[in-house]
Structure 1
C-alpha cells in the first residue's frame, strides 16, 4: 500500500500595503505625527517578539482598526539596538564598553526606520498616493515610499494578529 505524503507550507496571501519610513524619531513620536497628519488613531498595543538567533527583541507596535473603511493600520520600528553581552572592549582608560548590534525586522530594507502596514478588506480602497504625500509632508520624516510586498523574503515577520 502506497502512502500519501502531505507537504504543508505556510502561504501568506494577505493583501497589504507596506510603506517604509525614514526618520530618527522615537516610536511614540512618529506615531503621534502620523496620527495627526493622516487623522488616524494609532494606539500602542502589545509588543511583538522578534527572534534573531538567541536574541529576542520586543518591538513596539501601534495599531488602528478603522471599522468604517474596514482597514487595519500597523506602525512598527524596523531597527533595534541589542547589546552583545559577551563582547566587551577595553579602552585606553581601562573601562569596559558593551558592543551593540543593529537588528532589522526586514533585512532587505535595513535602512528604513519604520514600517506602516495597511491591510484593507476592499482591494485598493485606500488612496495610497495620498497617504504617501501626507507622510512626506511631516517635517521629521526624511522620506516615505511604497514597498513591493511580493518580493519580501520574510513576510511572516509582518503578521501582527
Structure 2
C-alpha cells in the first residue's frame, strides 16, 4: 500500500504589522486619538474578543481600509478579573477577600497596554510613519513594532 505524504512547507503565513502601545488611557480615548492622529476611523466591535467562554474579554476596535485593502485592529492586552475568597477570621461574621488578577492577551508582553494590528505588511517607511504619528500623541508613553515571528502566542491575534 502506498503512503501519501502532505508537505505544508509552502503555506504562506498571514502578513501583518504589530505595534505595541504603552499608555494609561482608556480604550475609547486612545481610539479617538489614534483616529485623529492617523486619519483612520476605528470603531468598537459589536462583541469583545472572548476567551475561556466569557471569563476573559478584551476590548477590540476595528477599521477596514477599502482603498489599501487593509484591516486595522486595536485590542487591549489586559483583562482584569475579580475573585472573591472566603477570608480566615475568628469572628462571628465571615469576611470575603476581593482579589484582582491581570490576564494578558499576549503574555510575553505584560507591560504593553494595547496592540495595533494592521493586516498588511507595510514597507519600512510606512510603518515608521505610523509609529511616529502614534508617538506624537502626548498621552502615549512609547510605541514600537514587534516582529510576528518572535511571538509565542501569535494565535491569540487572530480576530476573525
Shorter chain as denominator, the TM-score bin is 0.7 to 0.9
**Structure 2 regions of 5+ residues with no counterpart?**
none
Return the alpha-carbon distance in structure 1 between the equivalents of residues 64 and 140 of structure 2: 23
Return the alpha-carbon distance in structure 2 between the equivalents of residues 76 and 125 of structure 1: 23
CA 1:82–1:12 in 2, change beyond 3 Å: closer, same or farther?
A: farther
Return the alpha-carbon distance in structure 2 between the equivalents of residues 12 and 80 of structure 1: 31
CA contact (8 A) 1:12 1:156 kept: no
Return the alpha-carbon distance in structure 1 between the equivalents of residues 12 and 51 of structure 2: 18
Superposed CA deviations along residues 57-78 of structure 1, whole A, max 9, x for unmatched, are 1211100110111111100100
Return the alpha-carbon distance in structure 2 between the equivalents of residues 131 and 123 of structure 1: 10
Deviation at 1:80, TM superposition (A): 1.0
Q: What RMSD over aligned residues (CA atoms) do the two structures have, in Å?
A: 2.6
Deviation at 1:2, TM superposition (A): 7.2
Aligned to 1:105: 105
TM-score w.r.t. structure 1 length?
0.83
Aligned to 1:145: 144
Greater strand share, structure number:
1
TM-score w.r.t. structure 2 length?
0.83
CA 1:98–1:149 in 2, change beyond 3 Å: closer, same or farther?
A: same
- Number of paired residues? 154
